[in-house]
Amino acid sequence: MTDHRLDGYYNAMKHSGFSRNTVDSVRKQHCPNCHFEFALVYGRTTACRGCAEVVKNCPKVRCPKCDFEWYIKDIEHITDKYRGRAVETHVSDIIQKYYEDNGWKKNR
């Protein structure tokens, strides 16, 4: 089932100059296990903190509430493996920059 309310949000962000990767990385996800709602970037910065794979284009999403993992390619608005890879790379770049800005190490 497609949530068409996000189409207006996407178009507004696109009109403001944000890339599709940026919009996809902040779009709300629902954990298939506990149904917690969160953004992909939030999940990566909290649940994946300290994991070395977080800055190496990890193909998974981890729920910050219950630690359940699933693949980015299984998210509804990620239509193929190329979109999934683009989002993985984009989010890894964001987290890499975040770690550098805060002086954090990439692993535990």
Within a domain: 56: yes
Q: Pick 67 or 4 by higher pLDDT.
A: 67
Average pLDDT over residues 69-85: 87
Is residue 69 over pLDDT 90?
A: yes
Within a domain: 108: no
Look up residue 64 and give its DSSP letter: T
* Residues 6 or more apart whose Cβ sits within 8 Å of residue 107: 50, 51, 52
Comparing C-alpha atoms, which of 75, 23, 69 is closest to residue 44? 69
Q: Which two tokens stand for residue 68?
A: 């359940």
Residue 108 pLDDT class (50, 70, 90 cuts): low
pLDDT of residue 40: 87
Within a domain: 93: yes
pLDDT of residue 62: 93
Q: Which two tokens stand for residue 36?
A: 């917690």
Average pLDDT over residues 88-92: 89
Within a domain: 107: no
**Cα separation of 46 and 65, whole Å?**
9
Count: domains in the chain = 1
Look up residue 31 and give its DSSP letter: -
**Domain of 32?**
5-102
pLDDT in tens, 13-40: 778 888 888 888 888 888 999 999 998 8
| pTM tops 0.85, yes or no | no
